[in-house]
Amino acid sequence: MGAYILRRLLLMIPTLLGIMALSFAVVQFAPGGPVEQVIAELTGQGDSSTQRISGGSDLQGAGEQFGDDLNGQYRGAQGLDPEFIKKLEKQFGFDKPPLERFGLMIWDYARFDFGESFFRNISVIELIGEKLPVSISLGVWILLLSYLISIPLGIRKAVSDGSRFDIWTSGLIIVAYAVPGFLFAIMLIVVFAGGSFLDWFPLRGLTSENFASMSWPEKILDYFWHLALPLISLSLAAFATTTLLTKNSFIDEIRKQYVTTARAKGLTERQVLYKHVFRNAMLIIIAGFPGAFITAFFSGSLLIETIFSLDGLGRLGFDSVVKRDYPVVFATLYIFSLMGLVIGLISDLIYTWVDPRIDFEKRDV
C-alpha cells in the first residue's frame, strides 16, 4: 500500500500542473483582463469596485493623462498615456511573457504563496478565510444531513422495495430532485421569511447583529435559525441522489448468491443486511464521497448565497472571474484541485478499510 500511496502522490504533480496550465491558457488570454478592467473604470465603463488595485495604489489620477493612441492593444484605451498603461501592466505582472508568468505562479503556489488580490487590498488567503465560514457552515450540515438521512432511508427502501412506503417516498424524492434549489429557496422565502405569509426566518447572514452579546445556547439557536432555509434549499438534490444510489446499491447486493447462502446458514435478516450486504453495498457510496465532499465544502452555491445574502466562496469565485481577479481565481482553483486529489486518495484508502479484499498494489494506477 505504501508504494501505491507514493505513486498517487507523485501523479498529483503532473495532474495539478495540467489543470493549472489549461486554466491559465483559457483564462489568462481571455478578453477583458485586469488592465482592461481598470481602463474601463477610468473611462466610466466599469464597476466602481475596481477602483483600487492591490498594494493600495490608486491609479485613477494617472488615467487623466492623455497621449498617443495605443494601436488598439487594449479596448477603450485610446487617449490614455502609454506610460500609464505600462505601469498597469507591470503592477499586474503583464510586463513578462506568458510562460514566465505561469512559471512564477507555479513556483509561488508550490510554496503556498498566493499573493494579493488585484482589486482588494488583502491577501488571497485572508480573503478565502473570510468567506470560508459560510461555505463550511453550509457544506458540513449538507453533507451530514445527506448521509445521515439518505443512507438509512435508502436501506429501508431497498428492504421494502415495491411497497407503498417505497413508492410514496420515491415520488417525493423525484419531485424534490426535479425542483431547482434556487426556485425552492424563493418559495421558502415567500412562505416563511416575510414574503407574503409568515415571517419566521431571517434573510441575511449567518448570525444576528447582536450575536456577540448572546449566551451560548442563544448563539447556537440563532446560528441554526439563519441556516435553516439555505440548508433546506441546498440539501434537496443531494438528499435525493444519495437515497436512490443507496437503495439501488443495496438491491443489487441483496439479489446476489452470497446473501442466499448467508440466509441458508440461519442468519437473521439484520445480520445478513449489516454484516454482509452493507459492506459491499457501501462501496459505491464511498466512491461518490470525494465528489460530494468537494461540492459541499468548496464549490458553494452562487444562487443560494445570493438569495439569502450569504457571502461565501460561491460569490467570491463568481466575482473574481467577472473582474478577472486572477490571483483569487487561480489560487482557489489550485487549492480546491489539490484538495480534490488528496480526497480521492483518501477515498481509495477507505475502500481498503471497508473491504480488505481490495488491493490497489496489484492494479495499475
pLDDT tens digits along 262-277 = 888 888 888 888 888 8
* More confident: 331 or 32: 331
Across 157-185, average pLDDT: 86
Closest CA to 127 of 325, 274, 303, 306: 325
pLDDT of 306: 81
pLDDT of 22: 92
Task: State yes or no: pLDDT of 62 exceeds 50.
Answer: no
Residue entry with cell 435553516: 228
What would the pLDDT profile of 77-100 be if each residue is shown by its tens digit? 555 667 777 777 777 777 788 888
Phi-psi region of 146 (alpha: psi -120 to 50; beta: other; left: phi over 0): alpha
pLDDT of 188: 86
Least confident of 67-71, 167-171, 218-222, 246-250: 67-71
Across 203-209, average pLDDT: 80
pLDDT of 242: 83
- Nine cell digits for residue 83: 506610460
Looking at the DSSP assignment, which residues form a beta bridge with residue 116?
A: 123
Alpha-carbon span 99 to 112, nearest angstrom: 20
pLDDT tier at 106, thresholds 50, 70, 90: very high
CB 166 within 8 A of CB 251: no
What would the pLDDT profile of 3-14 be if each residue is shown by its tens digit? 878 888 889 999
* More confident: 208 or 354: 208
Task: State yes or no: pLDDT of 244 exceeds 80.
Answer: yes
Alpha-carbon span 173 to 17, nearest angstrom: 40
Alpha-carbon span 43 to 70, nearest angstrom: 15
Alpha-carbon span 313 to 133, nearest angstrom: 9
Complete domains list, the chain, with CATH: 35-119 (no CATH), 127-322 (1.10.3720.10)
Across 143-169, average pLDDT: 88
Alpha-carbon span 4 to 364, nearest angstrom: 9
pLDDT of 295: 65
CA distances in angstroms from 33 to 88, 152, 235, 317, 333, listed in the order given:
11, 50, 36, 16, 18
pLDDT tier at 147, thresholds 50, 70, 90: confident
CB 301 within 8 A of CB 138: yes
pLDDT of 157: 92
Task: State yes or no: pLDDT of 39 exceeds 90.
Answer: no
Q: How many helices (H) and strands (E) does the chain have?
A: 15, 2
Alpha-carbon span 53 to 47, nearest angstrom: 13
Alpha-carbon span 348 to 173, nearest angstrom: 29
Task: State yes or no: pLDDT of 294 exceeds 70.
Answer: no
Across 207-226, average pLDDT: 87
Least confident of 137-141, 169-173, 237-241, 253-257: 237-241
pLDDT of 90: 78
Closest CA to 118 of 316, 320, 335, 313: 320
CA distances in angstroms from 6 to 10, 228, 335, 347, 356, listed in the order given:
6, 43, 20, 15, 20
Across 147-162, average pLDDT: 89
Mean pLDDT of the chain: 78
Helix (H, G, I), strand (E, B) or coil at 58: strand
CB 61 within 8 A of CB 74: no
The alpha carbon of 30 is separated from its chain's Cα centroid by a whole number of angstroms, namely 23
Tally Cβ neighbours within 10 Å of residue 16: 19
Element (H, E) at 225: helix 216-254
- Nine cell digits for residue 296: 459541499
pLDDT of 57: 45
Alpha-carbon dihedral 127, 130, 132, 138, rounded to 10 degrees: -140
Q: Which residues contact 62 (CB under 8 A, 6 or more apart)?
A: 81, 84, 87
* More confident: 108 or 46: 108
Task: State yes or no: pLDDT of 72 exceeds 50.
Answer: no
pLDDT of 78: 56
Percent of the chain clearing pLDDT 70 (strictly above): 79
Task: State yes or no: pLDDT of 328 exceeds 80.
Answer: yes
Strands 57-58 and 52-53 turn out to be antiparallel
Type of residue at 215: S
Type of residue at 256: K
Q: Please state the φ and ψ torsions of residue 160, each to the nearest 5 degrees.
A: -105, 40
Closest CA to 301 of 242, 230, 243, 241: 230
Q: Which residues of 125-140 are buried (b: 16+ CB within 10 A; e: fewer)?
A: eebbeebbebbebbbe
pLDDT tier at 131, thresholds 50, 70, 90: confident
* More confident: 84 or 134: 134
Largest CA distance in the chain: 92
